[in-house]
Every structure is written in C-alpha cells, then in structure tokens.
Amino acid sequence: MAGPDDGGARSPGRSFGSVAAGYAAQRPSYPSDAVAHLLGRGGGPRQVLDVGAGTGLLTEVVLAAGHEVVAVDPSPEMLAQLTARRPGVPALAGTAESVPLADAAVDAVVAGQAAHWFDVLPAAREFRRVLRPGGVLGLVWNGRDESVPWVAALGEVLAGEERGHPADAAVVDAFAAALRADVAVVESGIAQRVSPEDVVGGVATRSYVAVMDEVTRGAFLDGVRALLADHPDTRGRDVLDLPYRTTAYRLTPG
C-alpha cells in the first residue's frame, strides 16, 4: 500500500480510505529489481500475498514479474481502487494480524510502505502460518531522495508532521527477531515525473495529512505549494522529477 506513511493493518492506517483515489493516482510504484529481490531469484511463478496492499502499487509489479497475487487490506476504499486497476486479483478485507487465508497458502508475503503499521508479534505468527516451507517475507519502502536540494527542502516542510513511525530498519529487525529470520537487503531507486500540483496531491495522501481538519490541511498544503513556487529548482517549472530511494528487505524465516 498503502503507503512510511502508510499502508496497513493498525488503526491509523485506516485513515487512507478517505484519500484512496489520490493514493492510487499520486504514489510511486516500486522498481522491478527491488521486487525481484523480495521474492528471491530462480524458480517459477510464486503465490504471493500482498498484505496492506492498498491500491495495488506493489501488486502490479509482482504481477508484471509473472507471479500470482492475493491482496489483503483493511480499507474497502483502497481495495476498490485496486480492483478497478486489476479486476482479476483476489482482493480480501483483512489485516496483517488476521490474514484471511488458509495455512501454507503462499510462497511469499510482501508489504510495501506498510509494515510500520503492523503489530509485529501477531503479524509474524500469521505470516509464518500462511507461508509454505521455504517461504519468504519481503518488506519494501520508498523514501524521498533528499540528496536533491528541492526534495530536501520539501522534507523540511513535512518534518514537523511526518513523525511517529519507527524506522524501517527497526521494523525489519523486529520481524527478523520474531521469525528468527535471515535478512538480505537491496538498495534501488525510482523517480516520478510529476507536476507541482501532483507533488501537493501526493502529500495530501499522507496519513498525517488525511486526518487533519479541513482548514489545517488546506493551510499545510498551501505551504507545500509556496515552497514549490519559490524554490530555485522548482520555480516556474511545469514538470518535476521526484526521486525516491527504495530499500527492499527479504526475510527468510528459520
């Protein structure tokens, strides 16, 4: 999913229902090499559970790699967006802590922008239950590449609100401990070609923005617009390249 910032199973993640259409339109996808790493190389098509699947951004990349996917998310609105994009994908209401699948149903569980919402111990028990022997857990996050000056300036504007999530590595460490898993990590990247207003729309899909009252949200987003209008790297430009660094973790339970 659904969407640091997003995705999944604990109650704060349910705030995404109100911004599901914007999430589908504005959030970045995932690089194919990162997704290949999540699932492991070699072998034939896998049965994959995308948990906290949101609007299906990660689901689409897994499908494009030739695998079969079952999508699970707690938000009906997010699942409706996923079904509209990929009508053939089974899309089920559920959470990481209560997965609506049988035992040993899948070869891999993946989560994009979502695992920081999960309650680690019950989620780990569910993942172990639904995984077949030799199965893997793949966790992936996109983070803005703040080595780019205007993206760093955007990060400063968002920093006051973008808080409260544990660091991705800490989440991975917690799951690795719960599953007694070996961890393999790959760094990659992706960029969105967007308009300034697309950048504003993407910020609007963040969970902490979605739960603001209307006046506060409007003022906050106007601050993002002002940054883009004034920054020397974005002033007067109709199209921007918004870069992300992608970190993909494959956990192989012991």
Indicate the range of 84-93, 148-157, 202-211, 235-244 predicted with least confidence. Answer: 202-211
Structure tokens at 179: 């599953």
| pLDDT cut 90: percent of the chain above it | 73
What pLDDT is stored for residue 28 in this prediction?
A: 86
pLDDT of 163 > 90? The answer is: no
pLDDT of 165 > 70? The answer is: no
pLDDT of 13 > 80? The answer is: no
Alpha-helical (H) ranges within the chain are 20-26, 32-39, 57-64, 76-85, 120-130, 149-159, 168-179, 196-204, 207-210, 214-230
CA dihedral (22, 149, 114, 254) positive or negative: positive
Query: Do residues 48 and 62 make contact, with C-beta atoms less than 8 angstroms apart?
Result: yes
What pLDDT is stored for residue 21 in this prediction?
A: 56
Q: Give me the mean pLDDT over the 190-212 stretch.
A: 88
Which carries the bigger pLDDT value, residue 111 or residue 9?
111
What gap in Å lies between CA 248 and CA 254, rounded to an integer?
19
What pLDDT is stored for residue 115 in this prediction?
A: 96
Which CATH class, in words, describes the domain spanning 11-146+166-191+243-253?
alpha beta
pLDDT of 79 > 50? The answer is: yes
What pLDDT is stored for residue 132 in this prediction?
A: 97
pLDDT of 10 > 50? The answer is: no
What gap in Å lies between CA 1 and CA 81, rounded to an integer?
11
Round to the nearest angstrom and report the end-to-end CA distance of the chain: 27
pLDDT band at 26 (very low <50, low <70, confident <90, very high): low
Structure tokens at 34: 């990162």
pLDDT band at 159 (very low <50, low <70, confident <90, very high): confident
